[in-house]
Amino acid sequence: MTKTESLLKKYNNKPNYIIQILQDIQEEHNYLPKEVLHEVSRGLHIPLSKVYSIATFYNIFSLKPRGKHLITVCVGTACHVRGAQSIVNEFERRLGIKSKENTPDMEYTLDSVNCLGCCAIGPVVVSDGKFHGGFKTKDVEKLLGEKH
């Protein structure tokens, strides 16, 4: 029995658990591998197009491999006017990558999103699921230093 089959069995092969199943898969692989999505489709007896529809609708899911550490910078209006773009620029400079890219060693993935829904504490950076409000450009070095 494959890991995916075991996971599907955990949820009794019920399609109404697809989001939880995809979350568990992404937690294990750090993204949603194509071959695993095919297994999910077969195991839940739902069209592959529906699996992809769900996987691409929610921003929490990624179809591309991601680094060990995911850094997300909110660049929505409230964060933007408080300097979010300079934070993105500093992460790009220090990591040597652009937003939506991985470092060559797959240690980091940098992402920027239009809103994280916590405008009052902006600019906001999420690092490995932990929210950092009132983030400043000078905080980039400290945050990256904590990861090593």
pLDDT at 45: 96
pLDDT band at 109 (very low <50, low <70, confident <90, very high): very high
- Tell me the pTM: 0.80
Where does CATH 3.40.30.10 sit in the chain? 69-147
Question: Known binder of ligand: residue 118?
Answer: no
To 10 degrees, what angle do helices 139-147 and 84-95 make? 40
What is the per-residue pLDDT across 9-48, written as a single tens digit (0 to 9) for each? 999 999 999 999 999 999 999 999 999 999 999 999 999 9
pLDDT at 60: 84
Question: Known binder of ligand: residue 115?
Answer: yes
- CATH class, domain 69-147, is alpha beta
pLDDT at 148 over 80: no
Find out whether 41 and 48 touch, Cβ atoms under 8 Å: yes
What is the per-residue pLDDT across 66-78, written as a single tens digit (0 to 9) for each? 999 999 999 999 9
Half-sphere exposure (CA, 13 Å, Cβ side) for 54? 18
Nearest to 73 by CA among 86, 60, 55, 57: 86
Question: Known binder of ligand: residue 79?
Answer: yes
Q: Considering only residues 1 and 5, tell me which one the structure prediction assigns the higher pLDDT.
A: 5
pLDDT at 147 over 70: no
Find out whether 72 and 124 touch, Cβ atoms under 8 Å: no
Q: What burial letters (b/e) apply to 66-87, b meaning 16+ CB within 10 Å?
A: bbebbbbbbbbebbeebbbeeb
